[in-house]
Amino acid sequence: MTIHSYHAKLITGEEKALADFVGQVVLIVNTASKCGFTPQYKELQTLYEKYHQQGFVILAFPCDQFRNQEFTEHDQIAEFCQVNYRVSFPLFQKVDVKGKHAHPLFQYLTENTSGFLTKTIKWNFTKFLVNQKGHVIKRYGPPTKPSEIEKDIVALLKD
């Protein structure tokens, strides 16, 4: 199994096969619009613009499991991300990232990486770096700024 085995709905409602990202370095992030880490969207967008043409993509999955820090409606999420951060990377519909209703992609991601002391995602803006073949390479905690991941992204892009 790899991330390419999964599907998810884009914020627009369109079903998206993650197999569409074969051959790309992928950073998967569970996001929230009203979180203390939300300003990370700015650095994420910067990384995306800098490396997208080289085969890098960010997939953002809004989540409302951590103190209800996400908008209720998908159009609110999309508007917030566009207006405040000019997000142009793929944004997906809200998902659960932990618990019995966790999206299968996040079940896979957490089963194949460990966080600090546990495999469970503990907060918004947990990040998973995935190689071109769809294998999870590394997991980063919420406080890790996207700019701190840049060297790992560049190393994978050179592979």
Task: Look at residue 113 in the predicted model and tell me its pLDDT.
Answer: 78
Say which residues have a Cβ less than 8 Å from residue 134's Cβ, sequence separation at least 6.
2, 3, 4, 5, 18, 21, 22, 26
Contact 40, 47 (CB under 8 A): no
Say which residues have a Cβ less than 8 Å from residue 107's Cβ, sequence separation at least 6.
none
Task: Look at residue 46 in the predicted model and tell me its pLDDT.
Answer: 98
User: DSSP readout, 99-125?
Assistant: STT--HHHHHHHHTS--SSSSS--STT
How far, in Å, CA of 57 to CA of 1, rounded? 20
CATH superfamily, domain at 3-158: Glutaredoxin (3.40.30.10)
Whole-model pTM: value is 0.95
Task: Look at residue 159 in the predicted model and tell me its pLDDT.
Answer: 80
Task: Look at residue 115 in the predicted model and tell me its pLDDT.
Answer: 58
Contact 61, 50 (CB under 8 A): no
Catalytic annotation, residues: 35
Task: Look at residue 114 in the predicted model and tell me its pLDDT.
Answer: 62
Chain center to CA of 137: 14
Task: Look at residue 116 in the predicted model and tell me its pLDDT.
Answer: 56
The domains of the chain are located at 3-158
* Helix axes of 40-51 and 146-158: crossing angle, nearest 10 degrees: 20
pLDDT in tens, the chain (159 residues): 999 999 999 999 999 999 999 999 999 999 999 999 999 999 999 999 999 999 999 999 999 999 889 999 999 999 999 999 999 999 999 999 999 999 999 999 998 876 555 678 989 999 999 999 999 999 999 999 999 999 999 999 998
